[in-house]
Amino acid sequence: MLEAKGIEKYYGDLHVLKGVDVMIKSGEVVSIVGASGAGKSTLLHILGTLDNADKGEVKVGDTVISKLKGDKLAAFRNREIGFIFQFHNLLPEFTAEENIIIPGLIAGGQEYQLKEKAKSLANILGVEGRLEHKPSELSGGEQQRVAVARALINDPKIIFADEPSGNLDSKSAEDLHQLFFRLRDEFGQSFVIVTHNQELAQMADRMLTMQDGKILQ
Ligand SMILES: Nc1ncnc2c1ncn2[C@@H]1O[C@H](COP(=O)(O)OP(=O)(O)OP(=O)(O)O)[C@@H](O)[C@H]1O
């Protein structure tokens, strides 16, 4: 599903990633843990096409994404990749339903079909009664579940999550974690999750530990 080889990244003189190799299988949930500053978010952003590596190659399926640029890259990202962040980044002036369907509209989907899909995702996620509300009228856990629905609207093959439960109470965090595994079981997507939450990290099929810009074996 995803293969990254020899990833290196510098921020000025700071050598943040020092040759990282990662392989993610289809339907696999992989967690990435490690001390603050180890390079976890930087790696996640490069794997997810949000940032460029200075060296190395990232392949998703048969596409070498590290070579994609401009509109092609944006289209690939919107269609194939889902993101979930610690702070959900929902657009405050739009309803939950609108937030969920926007990536689908950008991908050229039909509004009525996307609305149907938003409803069924909201059902799975337990926010079906909150679709007409704006983000500020939702609880933190609900906002995060809406963000998960938004990440799933285009049926991405792989979902990258950066501290997805970092901002949630322990019950909401646990619910969200269970949900990732349910979605994987139901839709067969791969998840790559950066987390400081030990419980979530250990629930994953595989846990990668980063230290000082490298993945420990
Ligand atoms: N845009 C940037 N410009 C300069 N330095 C950066 C930038 N982004 C990250 N860094 C630095 O790169 C290093 C790795 O950061 P990164 O966010 O990947 O770590 P992390 O393992 O995700 O940490 P945390 O667990 O605290 O989120 C840190 O020293 C950080 O200060």
Instruction: Name the residue at shortest CA distance from atom 30 of ligand 1.
Output: 37
| pLDDT per residue as tens digits for the range 24-54 | 999 999 999 999 999 999 999 999 988 999 9
Centre of ligand 1 from the C-alpha of residue 149, in Å: 27
Q: Give the number of other CB atoms < 10 A from CB of residue 72.
A: 12
| pLDDT per residue as tens digits for the range 120-139 | 989 888 899 999 999 999 99
Which residues, at least 6 apart from 65, have a Cβ–Cβ distance to it below 8 Å?
49, 58, 59, 73, 76
Q: Which residue has the higher pLDDT, 67 or 160?
A: 160
CATH number of 2-216: 3.40.50.300
Instruction: Name the residue at shortest CA distance from atom 25 of ligand 1.
Output: 36
Pocket of ligand 1 (CB under 6 A): 11, 14, 16, 34, 36-42
Centre of ligand 1 from the C-alpha of residue 9, in Å: 11
User: What pLDDT, on a 0 to 100 scale, did the predictor assign at position 69?
Assistant: 86
Using 50, 70 and 90 to split pLDDT, how confident is the model at 12?
Answer: very high
Centre of ligand 1 from the C-alpha of residue 159, in Å: 21
ipTM, 2 decimals? 0.95
Instruction: Name the phi and psi angles at 6, rounded to 5.
Output: 60, 40
Using 50, 70 and 90 to split pLDDT, how confident is the model at 171?
Answer: confident
CA distance 106 to 84: 18
For the CA of 42, the nearest atom of ligand 1: 18
Centre of ligand 1 from the C-alpha of residue 39, in Å: 6
For the CA of 213, the nearest atom of ligand 1: 14
Q: Give the number of other CB atoms < 10 A from CB of residue 122.
A: 20
Q: Which residue has the higher pLDDT, 126 or 18?
A: 18
| Least confident piece of the model among 27-41, 64-78, 98-112 | 64-78
By most ligand atoms within 8 Å of CB, the mutation choice from 9, 10, 36 for ligand 1 is 36
- The percent of residues above 90 in pLDDT, for the chain, comes to 62
For the CA of 194, the nearest atom of ligand 1: 22
